[in-house]
Structure 1
Amino acid sequence: MNSIRIRLFVILLATTGAVWLLAAAWIYASTQAEVERVLDARLMEAARMVSSLITDHRIEPSAAVDAAIANAPPPPFKQADGSYSRQLSCQIWSLQGSLVSRSESAPETSLASHTDGFEETEIDGERWRVYAVVNPTLGVRVLVGDSLEIRDRLIGDVIKGLLVPGIVILPVLAVLIWVSVGRGLAPLTRIAEGLAGRSASELHPIDDGTVPREVRPVIRALNSLFGRVAEARDREQSFTAYAAHELKTPLAGLKTQAQIALRTDDSTIQREALSRISTSVDRTSRMVRQLIDLAAVDASQGAAKDEPVDVAVLVGEIASELETQLAANEVHVAMEHADRTPQPAVLEADRILLRLAIRNLLENAIQHSPKGAVVRCRVSESQSEVVVEILDQGPGIPVADEARVTERFFRGSKASGHGSGLGLSIVQMALDRLGGNLTFERGGTWFVARASFPI
């Protein structure tokens, strides 16, 4: 049952039905008890009237019986066929056990035993509710009884008259509940129609001032999602524009150098052109790989898979992978352990993100180091974090540029022209996913890039 409307309808209808059943049970029990009480009171009054007429007015017992039946209080409900008017039956018995008088509807057999008060008996297969009162002055016993069959039919008719309207109303109530639930959910329908009518570029927030309070959390969550999607779209558009611009320049250079090599017969010029082509291809390949790395970091959001990683071993693996670049730049990598402890610096983190952060940080240091320089890699561990420090002998980052060096395609005021401006951006994004931090420090002749990862 995936429909909110149907679910609410079923819940409300079931609740209403349960309440109605409880009310019907209560009406049945209370009405039955009340009608029984009224009918019993009628029996008592009729019996006492007969006894009083005999005693006070000194009339004949048969006349007293007829007068009591005729003047008995009317029943609370009268059937259409008048059967209840023939219900009461009266007998007068002497205390010695002889029948003195009886009403027309009363049997000749005694309606009750020789006890006073109320009693239920069965005579010739018919059940009776009888009230007996003794008149010691005249030495008689007055019995007034109801036929329980007629009494039960009367009670059933009274209860039916109360419950049938409720049963008839239930279908009407179900229709009203269905319509009311539909009207209550109308704001959701309007919101759905508004969203369905939007184009892919319409990411402005929904006005939550006119929606019901219960729906506002959903609207706010949608608005938050729209904001994130809009930011991602703007970021991707900017990324695409920058990437196209950055790839356009080296590709144009490649074409120019290739044309030079094709048009000249001078082997020296050809070698120089081919060398520039090789350098440009390396740079373009690095840029493309960094673009792929950037996409990988973006795709890792919400999908990180943590595992134990020996950071020092990982740094060594990355340095080995960069041997070709190290040889081309004539740079040497030296591994150091700042704490000088034999225990490995193990970090519970996403290996892919960790590798991207360290690789781009190390590659950035190699790219900006002079020929013959040494790049030092230092791994240390404390109780709260693992720190990877990359120390190079390059020009470093001007203080004025430190706030922007992690922006995409930002090269800085002292850029050498060899980088794409993506390396530190990838490092910062990966660290953000890992909960780490990136800082820079100038220490003598060494420039230090420090990446810290929480344990």
Structure 2
Amino acid sequence: MSGDAGRRPQSLQRRLLLAVLVAAPLLWAITVGVATDSAQTEVDEMFDSELIRLAGTVHGALSGMAAKGELTEIELKPPAEGGTGAAELEDMGLAAWDGDGRPLLYDEQGARLPWRRDASGFVDLQVDGIAWRVYYQQAADGRWSVAAAQRQEERDELIWGLLSGQLAPWLLMLPALLLALAWASRRALEPVRRIAGDLEGRDADSLRPLPLDETPSELRPIVGSMNALFERIEAARQRERRFTADAAHELRTPLALLRAQWDVARNSSDPGERAHAEGRLEAGIARMDRLVSQMLALSRVEAAEGLPQRRPVDWVPIVGQVMSDTLPLAERRRIELGCDWPEPPAQPLPLDGDPALLEILLRNLVDNATRYAPEGGSVTVVFEPDALRVENDGPPLAPELLQRLGERFRRPEGQAESGSGLGVSIVQRIAVLHGLEMRYGARADGTGVVARVGRVATGPAEHRGHRDAR
């Protein structure tokens, strides 16, 4: 067994949990990235504004000193111990220089900042291996320049302090979230387990539909498809049972007659009696062959959910084959076969369908018309642009007989020709598969028997035979 064949598929619940385990850290990382960028922007904006204000304050002080002529070097000393509160002075730096780069004002950290003659605005520097954010501002007359600086580390600490306060609780809640998702997914998949339990508890003959009332909307298409499948299986089983019962019923009598005729032919010493028995035996075999063929054809068309193939139908070869197949019977009964085609450019019943099934349909119609027509009469296939008709010269059918046309294994009484009583059922089913309807009636003058298959029903004296032969 290959690895793929031996690997059991994962459950939906496990797939959901794995998806969460993968998606949660990924989304967390994306959230951290976005939050970090946003916090970095806000912190930079806040501290940069403070550096600008500090540099402006120093400029103001230097301007006052210059006006009094007191512009000298000033070193800022840190306050006494404990006088800074919670501030960390080593994270800030302040310095000022004259136009020649001589220090004018500086504190302990500012003394390390480099003088830059033309520097203006924010500059990121590395001083003694420490990253600084420095704001340079030049005097309008170029007499001095001021630099206010802050360690980048101070900003990073603030950013991560803000983020850790938000992310730590989320990380601590992740296991609880996964447990909650596991419970929720198990509850959400309960209808699936209920359906599986219902199906597992059934016996092989139970095809009752699954209930849709309590089925979630996401599962209704699947449950509906399963119920439709159950219906098709039940219909197929009913057809099989009906076919088996019909076959057992209809074959019992012919088989008994064949056995009796065989016993007569085998044991009789009278040549005439033996010849008569052999003739009856041959006729019985022919009837048996026709019955089996018709039953198989009916079983085939009844089992069809739709047409196995659909293409434009050419009626010429179909009619030729049907006439050739029916010719021996027509010659024996001295029936004249004919076909009337519509005048060009009209086409004979344009149709997309299955030519093989339509050949069966036409063969049954012509065969029935030939068997039940008076000897020496005629059978005509008439094509119209929207229908086809099969007519013979027989007497019009009685209303009570029209009502029962299409019943299986039922044939009119007093018939000398053999038959199975299935031909009309076969024709009806094939017509339904092609979206057609079938009607029976007489000619316009009230004579003969007409079987009409087409899209549009006409004629007040016709009887509709559009009964689904399922």
State if a TM-score over 0.5 links the two structures.
yes
The structural deviation recorded for 1:422 is 0.7
Matched, 1:378 2:386: no
Would the alpha carbon gap of residues 95 and 264 (structure 1) be closer, same or farther in structure 2, given more than 3 Å must change? closer
Q: State the partner residue of 2:450.
A: 448
Matched, 1:256 2:282: no
Q: State the partner residue of 2:209.
A: 205
The structural deviation recorded for 1:448 is 1.0
The structural deviation recorded for 1:155 is 4.8
Matched, 1:274 2:278: yes
Would the alpha carbon gap of residues 432 and 98 (structure 1) be closer, same or farther in structure 2, given more than 3 Å must change? same
Q: Residue 357 of structure 1 contacts residue 426 of structure 1 at CA under 8 Å; is this kept in 2?
A: yes
**Farther-moved stretch of structure 1 (155-164 vs 192-201):** 155-164
Matches within 5 A, 1:43-82: 43=51, 65-67=77-79, 74=86
CA–CA distance in 2 between the matches of 1:175 and 1:44? 51
Matches within 5 A, 1:285-364: 285-328=289-332, 330-337=333-340, 339-341=342-344, 345=348, 347-364=351-368
The structural deviation recorded for 1:314 is 1.8
Q: Residue 309 of structure 2 contacts residue 353 of structure 2 at CA under 8 Å; is this kept in 1?
A: yes
Matched, 1:245 2:253: no
Deviations 1:266-321 (A, max 9, x none): 23322222222222211111101101211332354435223444324422321211
The structural deviation recorded for 1:228 is 2.7
CA–CA distance in 1 between the matches of 2:285 and 2:273? 18
Secondary structure, counterpart of 1:322 in structure 2:
helix
Residue identity matched to 2:378:
V
**Farther-moved stretch of structure 1 (414-423 vs 88-97):** 88-97
CA–CA distance in 1 between the matches of 2:227 and 2:128? 83
CA–CA distance in 1 between the matches of 2:242 and 2:356? 25
The structural deviation recorded for 1:69 is 10
CA–CA distance in 1 between the matches of 2:202 and 2:76? 92
Secondary structure, counterpart of 1:146 in structure 2:
strand
Would the alpha carbon gap of residues 114 and 418 (structure 1) be closer, same or farther in structure 2, given more than 3 Å must change? closer
Secondary structure, counterpart of 1:335 in structure 2:
strand
Q: Residue 50 of structure 1 contacts residue 68 of structure 1 at CA under 8 Å; is this kept in 2?
A: no
Q: State the partner residue of 1:410.
A: 410
Give structure 1 stretches of 5+ with no counterpart. 76-83
CA–CA distance in 2 between the matches of 1:261 and 1:97? 141
Secondary structure, counterpart of 2:240 in structure 1:
helix
Q: Residue 46 of structure 1 contacts residue 68 of structure 1 at CA under 8 Å; is this kept in 2?
A: no
CA–CA distance in 2 between the matches of 1:310 and 1:95? 106
Would the alpha carbon gap of residues 67 and 131 (structure 1) be closer, same or farther in structure 2, given more than 3 Å must change? farther
Matches within 5 A, 1:148-227: 148=152, 150-151=153-154, 153-155=156-158, 157-158=160-161, 161=164, 165=168, 177=181, 180-227=184-231
Q: State the partner residue of 2:430.
A: 430
CA–CA distance in 1 between the matches of 2:345 and 2:114? 113
Q: Residue 32 of structure 1 contacts residue 155 of structure 1 at CA under 8 Å; is this kept in 2?
A: no
CA–CA distance in 2 between the matches of 1:123 and 1:338? 106
Q: State the partner residue of 2:43.
A: 35
Matched, 1:86 2:90: yes
Would the alpha carbon gap of residues 13 and 359 (structure 1) be closer, same or farther in structure 2, given more than 3 Å must change? farther
CA–CA distance in 1 between the matches of 2:125 and 2:173? 40
CA–CA distance in 1 between the matches of 2:20 and 2:53? 48
Secondary structure, counterpart of 1:200 in structure 2:
coil
Secondary structure, counterpart of 2:257 in structure 1:
helix
Q: Residue 405 of structure 1 contacts residue 412 of structure 1 at CA under 8 Å; is this kept in 2?
A: no
User: Structure 1 length normalisation: TM-score?
Assistant: 0.78
Deviations 1:199-246 (A, max 9, x none): 332111111111112222322232222223222322321221112101
Q: Residue 65 of structure 1 contacts residue 102 of structure 1 at CA under 8 Å; is this kept in 2?
A: no
Q: State the partner residue of 2:68.
A: none
Q: State the partner residue of 1:439.
A: 439
The structural deviation recorded for 1:133 is 8.3
Give structure 2 stretches of 5+ with no counterpart. 66-72, 457-470
Residue identity matched to 1:236:
E
Q: Residue 388 of structure 2 contacts residue 453 of structure 2 at CA under 8 Å; is this kept in 1?
A: yes
Identity %: 27
Q: Residue 112 of structure 2 contacts residue 127 of structure 2 at CA under 8 Å; is this kept in 1?
A: no
Q: State the partner residue of 2:234.
A: 230
CA–CA distance in 1 between the matches of 2:432 and 2:335? 29
Residue identity matched to 2:342:
D
Q: State the partner residue of 1:78.
A: none
Would the alpha carbon gap of residues 182 and 379 (structure 1) be closer, same or farther in structure 2, given more than 3 Å must change? farther
Q: Residue 331 of structure 1 contacts residue 366 of structure 1 at CA under 8 Å; is this kept in 2?
A: no
Q: Residue 36 of structure 2 contacts residue 163 of structure 2 at CA under 8 Å; is this kept in 1?
A: no
Q: Residue 47 of structure 1 contacts residue 133 of structure 1 at CA under 8 Å; is this kept in 2?
A: yes
CA–CA distance in 1 between the matches of 2:252 and 2:220? 47
Secondary structure, counterpart of 2:408 in structure 1:
coil
Residue identity matched to 2:399:
V
Would the alpha carbon gap of residues 410 and 69 (structure 1) be closer, same or farther in structure 2, given more than 3 Å must change? farther
**Farther-moved stretch of structure 1 (116-125 vs 331-340):** 116-125
Deviations 1:124-144 (A, max 9, x none): 5544334578999xx998754
Secondary structure, counterpart of 1:213 in structure 2:
coil
Q: Residue 45 of structure 1 contacts residue 72 of structure 1 at CA under 8 Å; is this kept in 2?
A: no
The structural deviation recorded for 1:393 is 3.2
User: Structure 2 length normalisation: TM-score?
Assistant: 0.76
